[in-house]
Amino acid sequence: MLSWVAKLSLPVERFKKHMGFSAHHSIMSKRSNTDLLSLPPEDLARALEKHFRQRDQPTYRIDQVRRWLYEGLSGSIDEMTDLPMSERDALKDSFILTELEEARVEVSQDGTVKHLWCLSDGEFIESVLIPTRKRLTLCISSQAGCAMGCTFCATGWGGFQRQLTTGEIVSQYSASRRWAEHHLGTTISNIVYMGMGEPLSNRKAVHDSLSILNQGYAVGARRITVSTVGVVPGILELAERPEQFRLALSLHAPISELRLSLIPLEKRHPLPEVLSALKRFNQSGGKRITFEYTMIRGVNDALELIAPLVELARSVEAYVNLIPFNPIPYQNWEPSELHRIKNFAKNLNKHGVPAAIRETRGRDIDAACGQLKAHALVQLEKPRQS
């Protein structure tokens, strides 16, 4: 396990300034080109087939590019060194390959690794690598910022900037896997869409990224979890997919009135509606549901909430993760006391609901959703009150 905390690799302010100039030019020159990382594997094969056919190239060129993307984790077309230089140049004329700039990387005492990435237009997103005894889980972002405004979440306080492209979602995986293989000597086993943003509000890009990670990079569907605060049309769409991707509902309160004070989306998609979508998901075969329940002292940890939580979980056979609240810059809340969290877990288990207390990881590097960006920018901007 790593026992050091890495330092800022490039100060955020300097990075922003730098990117403000160069990003404009790279975007303008490449806007019309298709991103190789944004194409689901079948579409990629078709696009490459057409490209190489027009250039009278043999069909094995398609596999060469696919190997560089999915096995070589290529960060640029220039790295595809078994293609002749002329073919690399031709690829660059027709395609782009999304690259993330590493603005900051921090490694926690407990081995959790948080990346702050800068996108080509100067926006920032985060991803987190979480090592446990048997797994290395990557938590990725689906949007720059988030419009959902959940009151317990640093990203929610920062507001929404924009949707991520498929390539920007996928490249968090390829760049993080490269980093993990180089620095940790291991690879990523699981992926959770629990970083910045609401994945099911960016459905096209997220669905395509799921196909690419599963069919291209060969990450098993059961090792990929999509998290949502309850975007019902998105849950129903995910239920229709044949792959057994997992779903995590950010529940945080088992009754609507309380949930509304934490998650504004509860007004548009109230719990009963979310529950019926979850039932459909649960019935669609072999797909597991998890409830995420962040425990905030004096807010959602009253003992009376255990009974409705049990009822909800049993109705969709959900597993419950109890997560001690990770304090954020703009909220004075504190995590529930450990004995209270244990009592919740014990009672859930007693009533036949599998529940676990999720260890808080990377506290020393602000590893909860949106916190690295929040802390990095908090000296630069005043928090928005929403």
Work out whether 158 is an interface residue with ligand SF4 (CB under 6 A): no
Considering the complex, state which of residue 52 and residue 160 has its C-beta at the smaller distance from ligand SF4.
160
Q: How far apart are CA 82 and CA 94, in angstroms?
A: 18
CA–CA gap between residue 115 and residue 168 (Å, rounded): 14
Cβ proximity to ligand SF4, 196 vs 313, nearer residue: 196
**β strands within 272-352, DSSP E:** 289-295, 319-324
Q: Is 113 exposed, middle or buried (0-12, 13-18, 19+ CB in 10 A)?
A: buried
CA-based radius of gyration for the chain: 21
Task: Supply the minimum distance, in Å, between the C-beta of residue 196 and ligand SF4.
Answer: 6
Task: Find the catalytic residue in 87, 123, 126, 266.
Answer: 126
Q: Is 156 in the site for ligand SF4 (CB under 6 A)?
A: yes
User: To the nearest whole angstrom, how small is the minimum distance from the Cβ of residue 325 to ligand SF4?
Assistant: 12
| Nearest-approach distance from CB 153 to ligand SF4, in angstroms | 3
Q: Round to whole Å and give the CA distance between 295 and 253.
A: 9
Q: Which residues between 314 and 373 bind ligand SF4 (CB under 6 A)? A: 369
Give the residue, chosen from 125, 196, 310, 353, that forms a contact with ligand SF4 under the rule CB under 6 A: 196
Task: Kindly state the greatest CA–CA separation across the chain.
Answer: 71
- Which residue is nearest to ligand SF4, using beta carbons? 156
Are 69 and 37 contacting, i.e. CB atoms less than 8 angstroms apart? yes
Provide the minimum distance between the beta carbon of 183 and ligand SF4 in the complex, in angstroms, as a whole number: 27
Q: Is 295 in the site for ligand SF4 (CB under 6 A)?
A: no
Contact string 122-151 vs ligand SF4 (x = CB under 6 A)? ------------------------x-xxx-
State yes or no: is 126 an active-site residue: yes
For position 198 contacting ligand SF4 by CB under 6 A, the verdict is yes
Scanning 75-83, 153-161, 209-217, 311-319 for contacts with ligand SF4 by CB under 6 A, the matching segment is 153-161
Among 69, 153, 232, 239, which residue interacts with ligand SF4 (rule: CB under 6 A)?
153
Strand partners, 289: 247
222: left (phi over 0), alpha (psi -120 to 50) or beta: alpha
CA atoms of 193 and 210, how far apart (whole Å):
10
Q: Does 191 engage in binding with ligand SF4 (CB under 6 A)?
A: no
Helix, strand, or coil here: 296? strand
Number of residues this chain uses to bind ligand SF4 (CB under 6 A): 13
Q: Which is nearer to ligand SF4, 129 or 263 (CB)?
A: 263
CB of 139 to ligand SF4, least distance (A): 11
Per-position b or e across 215-254, b if 16+ CB within 10 A of its CB: bbbebebebbbbbbbbbbebbbbbbeeeebbbbbbbbbbb
- When the beta carbons of 73 and 369 are compared against ligand SF4, the nearer one is 369
CB 131 within 8 A of CB 184: yes
From residue 202 to residue 241, what is the string marking binding to ligand SF4 with x (rule CB under 6 A)? ---------------------------x------------
Strand partners, 115: 105, 127
Binding site for ligand SF4 (CB under 6 A): 146, 148-150, 153, 155-156, 196-198, 229, 250, 369
Q: Which are the catalytic amino acids?
A: 126, 369
